Amino acid sequence: MALIEIKDLEKIYRNDSVETPALDGVSFNIEQGEFVAIMGPSGSGKSTLLHVIGFLDFPTGGSYLFDGKSINDYSKEEIAHVRNKKMGFIFQTFNLLSRTTVLDNVKLPLVYSGIKEAKWNEIALKAIEEVGLMHRVNHEPSQLSGGEKQRAAIARALINDPSVIFADEPTGNLDSKSGGQVMELIKQLNEKGHTIILVTHETYTAEYAQRIIRLKDGKIDSDQKVMERRNNFIK
């Protein structure tokens, strides 16, 4: 059984009498431990797809099974639990609290985890150490470089040891050197067993993945393993 099973997925945005299809019959599976990049031009539906897969939005048609269960069968409480315990999120804009230290930013998801507060620091420090940011543990975001901010965001995404990590343009606000370092870190997380779903418009970033799904006008334009894609390019 795949971790993520999507069949004929549709998402239509409605504004008065105007309907705008964002996803149109998308189908694919993602296995536990895969590293998948989703690419496409602006308006192709890639961010909408990420939001649906990440339980941040709901489809208007088709089916989506996460861990063998349909998104429509999850209660609000179960959805909140899955997002907190089984999913981690990394965003282009970092989404860190500005007047809060790295340590306290990373601890935030633990508030809803059910873990005793006495253990929060220990768990957060372990995640911060994993991303190589111990020297900034008591610094606020304004004192960090862009790459360091994203490392703090990655540590926060790791805090509950999620099954899957969603990365939405994680290098979009970084220079090439910092972007490469962040992608190496994300690759290492995949090698440790985390499923990675990456949304990006950058080819060099996508090629860290094992597989690239390309969207166009809300449909899948191609779905290839990275090595297959390179071999086709060589031919």
pTM for this entry: 0.90
Phi and psi at residue 19, in whole multiples of 5°?
-110, 130
Q: What is the pLDDT of residue 114?
A: 84
Give pLDDT tens digits along the chain (235 positions): 899 999 999 999 988 889 899 999 999 999 999 999 999 998 899 999 999 999 999 999 999 999 999 999 999 999 999 998 999 999 988 999 999 999 999 999 998 888 899 999 999 999 999 999 999 999 999 999 999 999 999 999 999 999 999 999 999 889 999 999 999 999 999 999 999 999 998 898 999 999 999 999 999 999 999 875 454 544 4
Q: In terms of DSSP bridges, do strands 35-39 and 211-216 run parallel, antiparallel, or are they unpaired?
A: parallel
User: What is the C-alpha to C-alpha distance for residues 235 and 232, in angstroms, rounded to an integer?
Assistant: 5
DSSP H or E run through 4: strand 4-15
User: What is the C-alpha to C-alpha distance for residues 10 and 64, in angstroms, rounded to an integer?
Assistant: 10
Residue with tokens 């996508």: 206
Of 161, 200, 229, the closest CA to residue 50 belongs to: 200
User: What is the C-alpha to C-alpha distance for residues 199 and 193, in angstroms, rounded to an integer?
Assistant: 19
Of 25, 166, 143, 178, the closest CA to residue 90 belongs to: 166
Rounded to the nearest 5 percent, the helix, strand and coil shares of the chain are 40, 30, 30
Do 70 and 126 touch, CB atoms closer than 8 A? Answer: no
Q: What is the pLDDT of residue 234?
A: 43
- Cβ atoms < 10 Å from Cβ of 185: 18
Q: What is the pLDDT of residue 228?
A: 54
Q: What is the pLDDT of residue 235?
A: 43
Q: Which amino acid is at 39?
A: M
Q: What is the pLDDT of residue 147?
A: 94
Classified as helix, coil or strand, 219 is strand
For residue 90, give the DSSP letter. E
Of 191, 172, 194, the closest CA to residue 182 belongs to: 172
